[in-house]
Each structure stands twice: as C-alpha cells, then as structure tokens.
Amino acid sequence: MKMGKLTGVYVVLVTPFTKDGDVDYDGLRKNVRWLAGQGVHGVIPLGSTGEFASLDDDQKERITQTVIAAAGGKIPVVVGSSAETTEKAIYYAKRAKDLGAAGALVLPPWYYTPDPEEIVHHYTRISEAVDLPIIIYNNPFTSKVDIEPPTVARLAELPNIVAIKESSGNMRRIAEIRTLTNDGIGIFCGWEDMAYESFVMGAQGWVCVIGNVVPRMAVDLFELITVKNDLAAAWELYKKMLPFLRYLEYAGKTQKALKYALDKMGLAGGYCSSPKLPLSDADKAEVDQLIQGMQ
C-alpha cells in the first residue's frame, strides 16, 4: 500500500552561514519558526538551495535537528538526503527518520552518471532500507542525470516513493508522468517560473525557493489554483511574482539573492558557503527592485 502523499508548498530552506563559514543555527531556527507561522505546508533543509553539497555530516545532522525542533510539529520537515553512493543516501535517510523527518528528498547519484537501471537500483535499495516517504529529485541541469518518465513509472511502483520533484523545465513531463503512472505518484513543481502551469496540469505541490522570502504569496498562488480553482486571480498574482521567480531560476545567484533579501527582512540570510561571494551593489539594487515589484 502506498504511503500517504505529501502536498502543498514546501519551502526549500537556505542555510545561513557566518562570515567564518560556520552554520548560523540560531538564525536557521528563527527562519523556520517564522515560516511555520506563514502558512507554508512544510520545509526542506539540505536541498540545493540549502547548499547541501558544501556541508559535512555533522553539520547536516545538526541542521536536521535544528529544523525539526524549530518546526515543533506544526509543519512537516522533508530532509534532503542525497549522496553519491546508495549506502550514504540510505544513511542520511535513516538519520532523517530517526530525528523525526516526515520524508526524504533524494537526488540520483550524479558524478558517474547512472543509467536507468542504476537509477532504479539506487531508489529501490533506499526504499527497501528506510520506512519513510521518499520524494525523487529530478534536476538534470545540476546533476546532469535526467530521470525520464518511463523510469519514474517503474519507481512509482515502490510503496514509499510518494512524489517526484520535477526540475527538468519540461512541462510535458507532468502529463507524461501522470499518464504512465496512472496518477500513482505525486508531482512537485521544481522549476520556479513554471509553478502556475504545473498546478494547472495537476502538480500537487511545490518545492519552493521564493517562499523563503514571500511564503504567503507562494501559498496563495498554490491555493488559488488547487483549492479555489480561481485561475484568473492566480494569474494576476503570478504575474507579480514572475520577474523574481525568473531571476531565482536563471540568474545563477539564487542563494545570494535570498540571503540578501532575508537579511533585509530581519531574518537570517548570512553568507554563502565558500567560494560563493555576496551580491554586488548592482545585483542588490536589482533584487530590491524585483521584490518591490511584488508588493
């Protein structure tokens, strides 16, 4: 029997760092508590936005503990559990479960470019080893591995593979996955400026970057389409959000922009992990203008 589905707007968290490169756990706690009061349906630490690849195992564990404690049972926490080996991914997912996570978000291994059989083997072993809802993370632009719909259909047969974060940027994928799986797997939008289209096509959730800064707007967009079926009102809201959504998706400065905005809001943005540098003054002015345009 399939595990319960995850739905809604799940904000993929930034990881605030100090100038010395340490994680600002107090700041992270503050951010999560704020988000929990903004109506989001869940949060995800240790995703791409959270710079998971720059963190060691001790930092990952403490971040997981901090976020779950700060969420306080008010919202579920799905923990990024990606690794280059299956054994390590299993380890991360097991630790997430032990610490109270509601699910795990898992990329395929990326460096050695697994073929479809190896992708299926990877997720099957994780599914069998960890009794936890798993969201497949398909992000071919970063990982260079594309989990295509026929492979997704095979994975959807596993009882605790409950959803896929679809970050291919190909809108056809939603219909293809829904058709091949007979709606047997949930679909989360993973491409910021395709949120509206994804919800209209039947996506049940959004692994959401912009929600770090404007969580209420993200939730309103999702609910206008999926709950109220008010596409006209949703489109007017989406038009306001689109310039910043596109910036976050294409400018190559996602974490920098979010952290700058969070600091200005009195929350914890902090620094990025090295070697990423802060925004230039010109970039800051552009981000200011984009955020102002959403008001």
CATH number of 213's domain: 3.20.20.70
In a domain, 265, yes or no: no
User: What CA–CA distance (Å, rounded) separates 177 from 158?
Assistant: 15
**Mean pLDDT, the chain, whole residue set:** 97
Assess whether 165 carries a catalytic annotation.
Answer: yes
Residue 262 counted as domain residue? no
Answer whether residue 118 is part of any domain.
yes
pLDDT of amino acid 2: 55
Residue 249 lies in a domain: no
Residue 3's pLDDT band (boundaries 50, 70, 90)?
A: low
Residue 159 within a domain: yes
Q: Is residue 113 part of a domain?
A: yes
Angle between helices 86-98 and 57-71 (to 10 degrees): 30
Identify the pLDDT of residue 1: 47
In this structure, is residue 293 part of a structural domain?
no
Q: Are 101 and 67 in contact (CB under 8 A)?
A: no
Q: What is the C-alpha to C-alpha distance for residues 189 and 247, in angstroms, rounded to an integer? A: 17
User: Is the pLDDT assigned to residue 213 strictly greater than 70?
Assistant: yes
Q: Is 30 a catalytic residue?
A: no
| Residue 278 pLDDT level (bands cut at 50, 70, 90) | very high
Q: Which of 97, 165, 256, 259 is catalytic?
A: 165
Q: What's the CA gap between 157 and 181, in Å, rounded?
A: 8
Question: How many domains does one find in the chain?
Answer: 1
Per-residue pLDDT reduced to its tens digit, 17-36: 999 999 999 999 999 999 99
Instruction: Write out pLDDT tens, residues 65-122.
Output: 999 999 999 999 999 999 999 999 999 999 999 999 999 999 999 999 999 999 999 9
Cα distances (angstroms) measured from residue 83 to each of 4, 153, 235: 25, 22, 37
Average pLDDT over residues 227-255: 98
The reported pLDDT for the residue numbered 5 is 78
Q: What is the pTM of this model?
A: 0.97
pLDDT number for residue 123: 99
> Which residue of the set 10, 137, 196, 238 is catalytic?
137
Range of the domain at 30: 8-232
Residue in this structure with the two tokens 């479960």, named with its chain if needed = 97
Classify residue 45 as exposed, middle or buried by CB count within 10 Å of its CB (0-12, 13-18, 19+). buried
- Mean pLDDT over 117-137 rounds to 98
Give the contacts of 205 (CB within 8 A, at least 6 positions apart): 6, 7, 8, 9, 10, 41, 163, 186, 187, 188, 189, 222
The answer as to whether 286 is a domain residue is: no
